[in-house]
Each structure stands twice: as C-alpha cells, then as structure tokens.
Amino acid sequence: MLVKDPISRKQISKSQLRLLLIIFKFRFVSSEYIGKQFKKDKSTIYERLFVLEKQGYVRKDYDSSFHLRQRPAIYSLAPKGIKYIRNNGPNLSEVALRNMYKNRSASLQLVDHSLNIFKLCLLLRDQYPDTFDIFTTSELAPFKDFIKPRPDLYLRRASKRSPKPSYQLETIEAGTMTWILKKRLQVHQSFLEESDSWDDNYPNLLLICGNNNTEKRIQRIVNNGGFDFTIQTTTRQRIDLSNTKIWLKEYKPDWDDVMEFAGL
C-alpha cells in the first residue's frame, strides 16, 4: 500500500469528500461495499480509508474477534469527519449528524442493520439500473414527508416522467410480533390521511421480511385492513436470488397455491 505520511495531507480531495458522504449515507460501512459502490478494487478503497482514518476523519472498528466471527472491519465517521462534512458538504440533517457522534457506542444490531441496508442498495442498483434515486434514513431525517421512525429507504423514480410509483422500503425482522406489524402499517395509513404532502401519490410500501412466516402474517394484515396505498412483500431469501420479480402483491389464503410475483 503506497501511502506516504497521510497525516501530512491537509486538504480533502473531492473523491475523499464523496467517500465521507457515502459513510454518512449508510452510517456504518465496510471496504467491500464501498468498493462495489464506487466500482473500485479493494486495495484502492482500503488505501483511501486508511488515509482518512490516519487523518482522523474516519473511525475503524476491528479486533481479533472479528476474524473469528468472519466480520469485516467497520468504518464510520469520526468527530472530525462529521464536522468536515457539516461545513463542506451539501445541506445535511443536523439530527443525523448529531446521532453519528454516538457511533462509538452503537449496538452491534445497528451496525449490522446499516451494513444490510448498504448491501440492499447495491442489489437494487444492480437489479434496477438507472431506475431509482435511493435515499437512506440519514438523508430522509430532515424531511417531514415521511413517518417516524423514517423508512429504511426511499426509492424515487429517476425519471419524473415515469408513470410508475416510487416506494418506501422497510426491513422486518423475523419474529416481529403481529401487533407491532399492524401498528406500523396503521401509522403509515394515519400519516397519509393527515398529510397534505402526498395527496393520492403516497409512495407504495415495500417490506422485506426475515422469513416466510413473517411475510404471511403481514399479508394477512394487508388482506384484512383498508390501506390507501399498495403494500408489496418479499423475503431476504428472495432478495438474494438477484431476480427482479420477487415482490408478492396478492395474498393467497391457501398459500400452497402457485404465488405470482412482480417487479417494480
């Protein structure tokens, strides 16, 4: 790795700023996913992260137990990096920036969730090239057009002339209790009824379920409830198939029938 005295480098380049903003977008990242995002080889990305870490803009979390558990090194913004993008980046959410000062004490569950969302974004980009502009929770924080807690992702059609809808996407862990699932969907419905932002264009809801059982329970809620927006579901297993037609629109009471899946 050809890095000469990275600490002596005082100016942040445009490529380094883009890297800091991607870390802000997902909060916690790995060199593998960063490489796929920028379509660069792993050694190039590792060198760039190494420089930013030594300069104090990025924090690296790694110890010997990571290797035993087959976990990658985790990168997040250090206080110096948070301050830099606040002063030199686009207009970013102050709420999201303040939350990132807590990166050091973040739970393993939050870190894994952030990595899973990053992986999901890469899959969606590959499955639907040039179709969506994808925004994460950090980017949605300042906008009042979305419920709280914010969706994991907002998929906005890249072409404003497209007649097809945009989407809100949320991940649902396996084993989530039915009353919690029902309450979340009802919050979406209540928000739509009380909001003047969307009228009849409320983004359809995409739910990625941890397993088939969770998907079945959600579909039963959808079938019995009166929601004024479309709700489509899939499972993590189907997401990993890298197929665009994985979204279940219509609940089959028998569930043993052949299910029909659609794309976006």
- What pLDDT is stored for residue 10 in this prediction? 65
* Whether the predicted pLDDT of 225 surpasses 80: no
Number of domains in the chain: 2
**More reliable by pLDDT, 152 or 264:** 152
pLDDT, tens digit (0-9, with 9 covering 90-100), for 14-70? 999 999 999 999 999 999 999 999 999 888 999 999 999 999 999 998 765 665 566
Q: Are residues 263 and 137 in the same domain?
A: yes
Residue 122, domain member (yes or no): no
The stretch 178-182 carries a mean pLDDT of 96
Of 188, 196, 207, nearest to 248 (Cα)? 207
The pLDDT confidence band at residue 2, using thresholds 50, 70 and 90, is very low
Residue by residue, DSSP assigns 113-162 as HHHHHHHHHHHHHHHSTTTEEEEEHHHHTT-TTS-SSPPSEEEEES-TT-
**From its phi and psi, is residue 120 left (phi > 0), alpha (psi between -120 and 50) or beta?**
alpha
The two tokens of residue 100 are: 């990132």
Residue 175, domain member (yes or no): yes
Q: Are residues 97 and 149 in the same domain?
A: no
Of 126, 209, 211, 135, nearest to 167 (Cα)? 135
C-beta of residue 249 within 8 angstroms of C-beta of residue 232: yes
Residue 161, domain member (yes or no): yes
**End position of a domain, from candidates 101, 120, 145:** 101
